[in-house]
A and B are shown apart, each in its own frame.
Chain A
Amino acid sequence: MQIACRNLHYTYPGADFPVFSNLDWSIEGPGFFSLFGLSGTGKSTLAKLISGELSPGQGEINYPKTRRILYTHNTERIPGWDTVGEHLRSVTPTSKTSLLNHILKDYGIRTYMESRFSGLSMGQKNRINLARYLVQEFDLLIADEVLANVDEPTRNQIIERLKTLFPQKTFLYISHNALEVARFSRTIHVLSHESTASANRIHKTDGLDQEEGTEAPEELVQERVYAILRSAAGTNESRL
């Protein structure tokens, strides 16, 4: 799936400065992509613009209208009247029941099926929220800090499994963790901390696209991490 933004402009109501101005950006899936940047650079705003949660002031976002984009973030909750199991079963299409069972097992959620969402830890909540999105129909899933509260080994396992389970889907993973995005992403789109007026504010850096059962060399990971951090700080020379 291809998605392209042209001349995108967005200012929050009441704000003095735009978050984006004349932004040109695109990704072409399938694959696991990341959106990285320091706090306040506009990662979630871009995600909301792409998913239609926000409307751009100017410019256009193009993608085939038959494709479905979902956006999820880490503060989402399930309704309090249901247990986790009741909710997951009720929002899973019948054709995806088997996939749900796989995900429940792989993500270690099965033991919480009789629990109330409010009684779980933040990490458990993150996993349950991601699981319910994965069993929906989608072409692009924008996952905004969705695993922010999950411990690192579990998070790595979840991302690897996700890539194995959904090779034909496109993921845009928003994270503050440079190591994680360097290791697992095909391409990292880095929102730099510089003037919003720049059309090329998003720099692309190749990731290592680590798959399940493989291990990227540590030196390579470190090299990519530095490249990402340099881009984020706006000191990278090579812009794509």
Chain B
Amino acid sequence: MKTLKRLFQFISIYATALGLLWSAKIIYGFSDYLIPPPLEVLQVTIQNGPHYVKAVLNTLAVAIAGHMFAIILATAVGLVGRLNTWPGNLTRTAAYNLQAYPIVAVAPIIFLFLGDGLISRLLIAAMICYFPLLLSFIGILAKPVEEVEHFFRITGRINWRLELSIRTFENLDKIITVIVGSGTMALVGTIIAEFLAATNGIGYIIRKALYQSNLAKILIALFLIGLCSSMYLTFIETIGAWIKTRLYGTRSSPYKQI
């Protein structure tokens, strides 16, 4: 239901934008070369549709892999960054300083060293969504939930796993929101990487269409990106809702196993 709602919202916005574009074409008399007519867009869709769908799925796969990699890395580094010892302080300082740097600017260096293959796309996708995730994770994991943790601390039961469980559980909504938000960034990162130098994916298709000044191809690519993005975000939200339901209804406590 949520997927359908999100898809409907996207299609409505996309259709409105197309309508405005074609209205401008009619009002200002733009040429077919600049703004293709609906029939041309339909023809290009029929000719290139399957190929573009493959390309966008390729992009989505890389974005998901990059996103997962970033989540795992941000969790691991966040665990260190929450500590009040020197490694924790160093991690926090480094994270706050590095996140201020635009990662896209580093992308050409990555292509120089790693070539234009899968690894470069994956790395750029992960790097673009990694820092927002890391900063949120450090913030969440470093902040004690005093009213819950106090009992375990004063009775000597607290340990890092319990602390992590409490803080994650208490901030689950925030964590899911950050992960959903960074999902879009992972997709953006992958497309940017493909647009810059890769030889695969929907970003590469847009780059080629740009060189050919073919707006019809770009419009189709944008439509497919929007569809994939909506479905991926809904998928993450569904996973988040499932985790919440499971945790709120769980019959096992993390501290029982300690």
B46 an interface residue at 8 Å Cβ cutoff? no
- Tell me the smallest distance from the CB of B236 to a CB of chain A, in Å: 22
- In the complex, A51 Cα to B166 Cα: how many Å? 23
Query: A91–B250 contact, CB under 8 A?
Result: no
- In the complex, A64 Cα to B103 Cα: how many Å? 57
Q: How many residues of A contact B (CB 8 A)?
A: 23
- Tell me the smallest distance from the CB of A145 to a CB of chain B, in Å: 13
Please indicate the chain A residues that have their CB under 8 angstroms from the CB of B169 in the complex: 79-81
Which of B147, B148, B154, B253 has the largest number of chain A CB atoms within 10 A? B154
- Tell me the smallest distance from the CB of A213 to a CB of chain B, in Å: 32
Query: A75–B155 contact, CB under 8 A?
Result: no
- Tell me the smallest distance from the CB of A223 to a CB of chain B, in Å: 37
- In the complex, A86 Cα to B247 Cα: how many Å? 14
Among A53, A79, A80, A91, contact of B155 (Cβ-Cβ < 8 Å): A91
Please indicate the chain B residues that have their CB under 8 angstroms from the CB of A72 in the complex: 150-151, 154
Contact with B along A42-63 (1 / 0, CB 8 A): 0000000001010000000000
Please indicate the chain B residues that have their CB under 8 angstroms from the CB of A51 in the complex: 154
- In the complex, A86 Cα to B250 Cα: how many Å? 11
- Chain B residue nearest to A70 (CB atoms) is B154
- In the complex, A136 Cα to B157 Cα: how many Å? 11
- Tell me the smallest distance from the CB of A201 to a CB of chain B, in Å: 26
Contact with A along B162-185 (1 / 0, CB 8 A): 000110011000000000000000
Known: A79-B166, A80-B170, A81-B169. A90 touches B253 (CB 8 A): yes
A82 an interface residue at 8 Å Cβ cutoff? yes
B113 an interface residue at 8 Å Cβ cutoff? no
* Chain B interface helix/strand/loop/mixed: helix
Query: B147–A76 contact, CB under 8 A?
Result: yes
Contact with A along B33-54 (1 / 0, CB 8 A): 0000000000000000000000
Among A82, A129, A132, A136, contact of B253 (Cβ-Cβ < 8 Å): A82
A112 an interface residue at 8 Å Cβ cutoff? no
Known: A79-B166, A81-B169. A132 touches B154 (CB 8 A): no
Query: A86–B253 contact, CB under 8 A?
Result: yes
Please indicate the chain A residues that have their CB under 8 angstroms from the CB of B154 in the complex: 51, 53, 70-72
Query: B253–A79 contact, CB under 8 A?
Result: yes
Known: A79-B253, A81-B253, A82-B253. A132 touches B248 (CB 8 A): no
- In the complex, A53 Cα to B151 Cα: how many Å? 12
Known: A79-B166, A81-B250. A70 touches B155 (CB 8 A): yes
A77 an interface residue at 8 Å Cβ cutoff? yes
- In the complex, A70 Cα to B247 Cα: how many Å? 30
Please indicate the chain B residues that have their CB under 8 angstroms from the CB of A133 in the complex: 151
Please indicate the chain A residues that have their CB under 8 angstroms from the CB of B255 in the complex: 90-91
B143 an interface residue at 8 Å Cβ cutoff? no
- Tell me the smallest distance from the CB of B242 to a CB of chain A, in Å: 15
- Chain B residue nearest to A89 (CB atoms) is B256
Contact with A along B235-258 (1 / 0, CB 8 A): 000000000000110110111100
A78 an interface residue at 8 Å Cβ cutoff? yes
- Chain B residue nearest to A52 (CB atoms) is B154
A87 an interface residue at 8 Å Cβ cutoff? yes
- Chain A residue nearest to B172 (CB atoms) is A80
Among A78, A86, A90, contact of B148 (Cβ-Cβ < 8 Å): A78
Please indicate the chain B residues that have their CB under 8 angstroms from the CB of A75 in the complex: 147
A-B contacts, 14 listed (Cβ < 8 Å): A70-B154, A76-B147, A77-B147, A78-B148, A80-B248, A81-B165, A81-B253, A81-B254, A86-B251, A87-B253, A91-B157, A116-B248, A132-B151, A133-B151
Chain B contact residues, CB within 8 Å of chain A: 147-148, 150-151, 154-155, 157, 165-166, 169-170, 247-248, 250-251, 253-256
